[in-house]
Amino acid sequence: MAAIGSTGEHLFLPECFEVSFADDKIIRGHVQSAREVQETLDAVNKEFNTAFNSWFKKINKEKLGPDAESRLLWYTDLQLQGTTCIVPGLVLQNDVMVCDRGGRPYNPKPTNVQKDEDHAYLRQKRSRLQLTKKTGCEAKVKIKTWTLFEDFSMEKATATKWKKAVKMKEIKEALKAGDMRETTVIQMEIPLAASHTNHTLAVENCISRTISREVRSKVEELVQAGRLGECTHSQEDAAALCARTISAEGTAPSQRR
């Protein structure tokens, strides 16, 4: 585990993101609201010239009650409020977002399927193998929304299995009495450049994405000024010139699909 603040790899993240763990592949931390989650995602997309698509979402629709003991987990974010505690809590929502370059680089191959056992003929499934921008990248953003019960926290160094069981029994009694103080926190795990595989993180990755109105206006200004004439090789060169100009002026392209 890298010491928090010992490297500059997480300086691109907004101030609302509190880092609790960092290594050469991921950064883990937490924020307090959905707005801060989106702000963090925008910063990640801008830093790595990529985007993440929603892949999995699970919402816990059951209400917390006296019989919720089996669904309670221990939140082990060691940097939570500067302590070395583990805190019991409930995962309300679990989201996983994958890099837009993830997935198979080709469509599935044609396969023969037995249609009916009573007939001796096969049905051919037709599909064309078309090259896509998917490269099988496994980078993922993981987001968990927790409800924590900090009044029942324990020191990680002394939290034995027996002490945890006793603490869970105390939580159950407090749930029956309705005397529980809750705190909501959103835990995020963000992949760094080393987690992206089989593709580059160059600014040209943004070519196929929708850009914001401000960026579109800036491109029109560059065209009217004749600066795109400096690019004589390809559309990628022109896109790179626009991106560099916009980045220098502090306007970031939108990462929306």
Contacts of 38 (CB under 8 A, 6+ apart): none
From residue 246, how far is each of 223, 226, 251 by CA, in Å?
Answer: 13, 16, 5
Same domain? For 252 and 158 the reply is: no
Say yes or no to pLDDT of 2 above 80. Answer: no
pLDDT single digits (tens) 204-219:
777 766 766 777 777 7
Same domain? For 60 and 98 the reply is: yes
Same domain? For 49 and 153 the reply is: yes
Same domain? For 192 and 218 the reply is: no
Provide the pLDDT for residue 69.
Answer: 47
Q: Give the mean pLDDT of the chain.
A: 74
Is residue 112 one of the residues assigned to a domain? Answer: no
Owning domain of residue 185: 18-103+136-198
Contacts of 19 (CB under 8 A, 6+ apart): 4, 5, 10, 13, 27, 28, 29, 79
Q: Amino acid letter at 188?
A: M
Same domain? For 163 and 79 the reply is: yes
Is residue 127 one of the residues assigned to a domain? Answer: no
Is the model more confident about 90 or about 248?
90
Say yes or no to pLDDT of 51 above 50. Answer: yes
Provide the pLDDT for residue 68.
Answer: 52
> Which pTM value belongs to this model?
0.66
The last residue of one of the domains, among 159, 177, 198, is: 198
Counted domains in the chain: 2
DSSP state of 112: E
